Structure 1
Amino acid sequence: MARVPRIPSSPLLLAGLMAAAGAAHFAAPGPFDALVPRALPGSPRTWTRASGVAELALAAGLAVPRTRRLSARATALFFVGVFPANVKMAYDWRARPAPARALAYGRLPLQVPLYLWARAAGRPTTG
């Protein structure tokens, strides 16, 4: 019988990913600004900064065992919450060259394993 791949549960690895993504929102905000749906009120830069702060806060929470469970749940919800930005990117990039379209379309299903990873990161470790 084929073995189903296990979703990674390393909370520190996920914390590193979230910290890198959060820092990127401040280091190079332009591409993130373009992902902000126009229906949201205010400046896209405000949303970019807010999501960067959220990612950094989630990273910190995932790194601390005492706050890990709650932060993992919040991270999973964050991945659900930013999905519309990924949909907007896929729509906006539909006329770009094939490699760029593949990147934009590939981000959509990637949210599922990220969500599952966040959920798994909040579970108590055994062993």
Structure 2
Amino acid sequence: MSLRWSPKATHTLSVIGLSALLMASAMKHFRTPSFYNPVVPEYLCRNDEPGGAPNGPLAVMSREEWIASSGLLEVTAAVGLLIPATRKVAADGTTAMFAAFLAGHIDALRRAYGPYGSQKERRIHTLRLPLQIPLILWSWSLRK
């Protein structure tokens, strides 16, 4: 008996793989939110401290709220990918989410190479930014 591998099986395995990765990342948002602190741009973070810098027009949530919200988005995307009826919409949304995350990774890289960035931050963010491209392409490929 030969085992035949079909394109559908490959697609299903790919969906499960990205879904698992998204779920693991989402759980990390809640277990270790500080891991994501550097990739939330300052211009998105509301400043609630008295006498602090004024909030910009995009500063609608605190850093912690942005991290929790993105974790919830990842859970939603992970579940949506697993349901055939919502897979295309979830894949589109996941692609858009990863593309939007590019802004945070670019901002983190900019700060890492700024006057207060460390060598460790430079290494981490130099490696983290290019990882977004395969994630964007992977999620886009699941639209079928």
Normalised by the size of structure 1, how large is the TM-score? Answer: 0.82
Q: Which residue does the alignment assign to 2:130? A: 109
- Opposite residue 96 of structure 1, the aligned amino acid is S
Q: Does 2:118 align with 1:96?
A: yes
Q: Which residue does the alignment assign to 1:52? A: 71
Q: Does 2:33 align with 1:12?
A: no
Tell me how far apart the structure 1 counterparts of residues 30 and 121 of structure 2 sit (CA, whole Å): 23
SS of the aligned residue for 2:19 comes to helix
Correspondent of 2:93 among 70, 74, 77: 74
**Alpha carbons 1:11, 1:122 under 8 Å: kept:** no
Normalised by the size of structure 2, how large is the TM-score? Answer: 0.73
Query: RMSD of the alignment, in Å?
Result: 1.7
State, as a whole percentage, how many aligned pairs show the same letter: 30
Q: Which residue does the alignment assign to 1:85? A: 104
Aligned residues: 115
Q: Which residue does the alignment assign to 1:22? A: 26
Tell me how far apart the structure 2 counterparts of residues 56 and 38 of structure 1 sit (CA, whole Å): 24
Gapped runs of 5+ residues in structure 2?
1-9, 45-58
Give CA deviations for 1:43-76 in whole Å, capped at 9, x if unaligned. Answer: 1001000000000100000111221111011100
In terms of fraction of residues, the more helix-rich structure is 2
Gapped runs of 5+ residues in structure 1?
1-7
- Opposite residue 23 of structure 1, the aligned amino acid is M
Give CA deviations for 1:5-47 in whole Å, capped at 9, x if unaligned. Answer: xxx8511100011111111100001121332111111310010
